[in-house]
């Protein structure tokens, strides 16, 4: 990646956004959708609507951060409450759960956007999102939700670098994913399990860890952190605190994954 090529991609992105003449952004508060929202806000001079999903699938801190960031960018921002936990096709937690959820989410967002006069919806997918197993991308395409970052050729590294240049506060924040990704396929998605995961990850966050996951494996919590954080995590006082806190949340066993954290780990069970 060179500065020149990044500038060319940014120029391409702005041209795409300018052609929309007003747009609604599916905005999670993550770095991809934040950069997209910032560029849309600048290019369209505020004729932008940010829509953020709210449900037990999103950690509360993530929604709070999205609200703060949208406010700092000066765009209109609304929360869209979704009901995926009431849909058996989602809670059954099959490999297409993301497709089911995103189809509902985009439908709800598009409905709200149209009520407010916005007929175009975009989201923050980039060229690297074509890898791994991402049925949510299929849902976006079927719902005609556009991905201008992907169309302009942005990689994750491009997004972080441009966000850094623009001084966006979350430019180096690790990638996030909905809490359902912490459960193995086939395990029913319930509010209680999601709350256990959110609580466990809040403990690690409060201890200063980032770039991690806590996987819910029934009575076992499997902690994934970066290998560089292993020593810090297992220091006696910290280790005992984590064990006690997670047991208080309902886990019987608390384990450390020696492979360390990696995105998409749960997709191994379906061969992707």
What is the pLDDT, as a whole number, of residue 1?
Answer: 52
Q: What is the pLDDT of residue 121?
A: 98
Cα–Cα dist 177/198, whole Å: 12
Residue 271: per-residue pLDDT: 61
- Tell me which CATH code domain 3-165 carries: 3.40.50.620
**Tell me, what's the pLDDT at 176?**
85
- Whether the CB-CB separation of 88 and 100 falls below 8 Å is answered with no
Say what the pLDDT of residue 232 is: 97
Convert 61-124 into a string of H (helix), E (strand) and C (coil): HHHHHHHHHHHHHCCEEEEEECCHHHCHHHHCCCCCHHHHHHHHHHHHHHHHHHHCCCCCEECC
Cα–Cα distance for residue pair 89/55, rounded to 1 Å: 17
Cα dist from 39 to 8, 114, 203, 232, 239, whole Å: 14, 21, 34, 38, 42
CB burial string 24-41: b at 16+ within 10 A, e below:
bbbbbbbbbbbbbbbbbb
Bridge partners, residue 78, by sequence: 51
Q: Does domain 179-270 have CATH number 2.60.120?
A: no
pLDDT in tens, 30-88: 999 999 999 999 999 989 999 999 999 999 999 999 999 999 999 999 999 999 999 99
Weakest mean pLDDT among 192-196, 210-214, 244-248, 262-266: 262-266
pLDDT digits (tens, 9 = 90+) for 130-187: 766 678 889 999 999 999 999 999 999 999 999 999 999 999 998 888 999 999 999 9
Handedness of CA 184, 227, 154, 74 (dihedral sign): positive
Could you state, in order of their start, the residue ranges of all structural domains in the chain?
A: 3-165, 179-270
Cα separation, 39 vs 230, whole angstroms: 38
Integer Cα distance of 206 and 175 in angstroms:
18
Contact 145, 121 (CB under 8 A): yes
Q: Collapse the DSSP code of 36 into the 3-class scheme (helix H, G, I; strand E, B; otherwise coil) and give the result.
A: helix
Closest CA to 1 of 161, 125, 131, 126: 161
Q: What is the pLDDT of residue 259?
A: 96
174 SS3 class: coil
């Amino acid at each position: 990646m060179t500065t020149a090529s990044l500038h060319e991609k940014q120029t391409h992105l702005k041209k795409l956004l300018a052609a929309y003449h007003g747009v609604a952004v599916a905005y999670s508060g993550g770095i991809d959708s934040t950069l997209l929202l910032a560029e849309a806000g600048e290019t369209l001079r505020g004729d932008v609507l940010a829509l953020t999903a709210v449900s037990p699938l999103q950690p509360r801190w993530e929604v709070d951060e999205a609200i703060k960031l949208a406010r700092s960018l000066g765009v209109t921002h609304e929360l869209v409450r979704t009901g995926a936990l009431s849909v058996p096709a989602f809670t059954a937690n099959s490999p297409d759960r993301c497709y089911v959820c995103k189809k509902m989410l985009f439908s709800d967002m598009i409905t709200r956007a149209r009520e407010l006069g916005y007929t175009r919806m975009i989201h923050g997918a980039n060229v690297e999102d074509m890898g791994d197993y991402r049925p949510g991308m299929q849902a976006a395409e079927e719902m005609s939700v556009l991905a201008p970052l992907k169309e302009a050729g942005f990689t994750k590294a491009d997004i972080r670098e441009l966000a850094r240049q623009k001084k966006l506060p979350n430019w180096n924040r690790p990638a996030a994913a909905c809490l359902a990704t912490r459960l193995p396929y086939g395990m029913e998605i319930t509010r209680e399990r999601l709350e256990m995961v959110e609580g466990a990850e809040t403990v690690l966050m409060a201890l200063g860890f980032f770039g991690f996951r806590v996987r819910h494996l029934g009575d076992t919590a499997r902690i994934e952190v970066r290998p560089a954080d292993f020593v810090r995590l297992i220091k006696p006082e910290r280790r005992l605190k984590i064990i006690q806190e997670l047991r208080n949340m309902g886990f019987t066993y608390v384990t450390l994954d020696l492979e360390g954290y990696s995105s998409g780990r749960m997709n191994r069970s379906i061969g992707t």
